[in-house]
Chain A
Amino acid sequence: DSGVTQTPKHLITATGQRVTLRCSPRSGDLSVYWYQQSLDQGLQFLIQYYNGEERAKGNILERFSAQQFPDLHSELNLSSLELGDSALYFCASSVSGDGQPQHFGDGTRLSIL
């Protein structure tokens, strides 16, 4: 158990819809990262938040957005969903700084029908 909690575990929806994925980081971790893993693209970094502020952006689509709340949990919002958005979405957290590692949750499997 990494201590990172993601909900829901599975999500099935239709094209054009909007969904929200939730992540609770490990106790004491200030950084939250979101990753997408699809069959053809592998594991890709989407975005990072540190203590409520956006810190780094990766290959995140404009249809996707994220935020980190005062209690440090984070949400990833995916809108105007397309078939190609079907993937595993992972959240990771870290203390941040001094090379400390990221710890990953079990992911949310998103299926677009």
Chain B
Amino acid sequence: DAKTTQPPSMDCAEGRAANLPCNHSTISGNEYVYWYRQIHSQGPQYIIHGLKNNETNEMASLIITEDRKSSTLILPHATLRDTAVYYCIVNNARGADGLTFGKGTHLIIQP
């Protein structure tokens, strides 16, 4: 699986949009981009995933560049409860194999 690069930490003001970048320059054509977050020691929570097109759900939006070498997760109106470690992961479309978690981005929402 391709590796990803994320900033170790970011701050965002409550109520503002949080934009979390991820680089995955070696992504293969059949690999999806997944975003998860982990709040303290809870189980990782699935946020969103995509292959080529931009995606939006009730939690977030995912913007994938045309060359698929990078992506941005957008939390439109961050709240204090969005403080967590966010992981960007690429994985094969077959859906098999484990996810490779890096160190992620520690997002801190400031009141």
Residues of A at the B interface (CB closer than 8 Å) are: 2, 4, 31, 33, 35, 37, 42-48, 50, 55-56, 58, 88, 90, 92, 94-107, 109
Q: How far is the CB of B63 from chain A (nearest CB, A)?
A: 18
Q: Are B41 and A107 in contact (CB under 8 A)?
A: yes
Q: Are B95 and A96 in contact (CB under 8 A)?
A: yes
Q: Decide yes or no whether B21 CB sits under 8 A from chain A.
A: no
Question: A42-B103, A101-B34 are contacts. A2–B43 as well, Cβ < 8 Å?
Answer: yes
Pick the residue among B36, B87, B95, B100 that contacts A45 (CB under 8 A): B100
Which one of B2-10, B12-20, B45-53, B68-76 contacts A? B45-53
Question: How many residues belonging to B are interface residues under a CB distance threshold of 8 Å?
Answer: 25
29 A-B pairs within 8 Å (CB atoms) are namely A2-B46, A4-B43, A42-B101, A42-B102, A42-B103, A43-B38, A43-B44, A43-B87, A43-B99, A43-B101, A45-B99, A48-B98, A50-B96, A58-B98, A96-B95, A97-B95, A99-B32, A99-B51, A99-B91, A99-B93, A100-B95, A101-B34, A102-B99, A104-B44, A104-B45, A104-B46, A105-B43, A106-B43, A107-B43
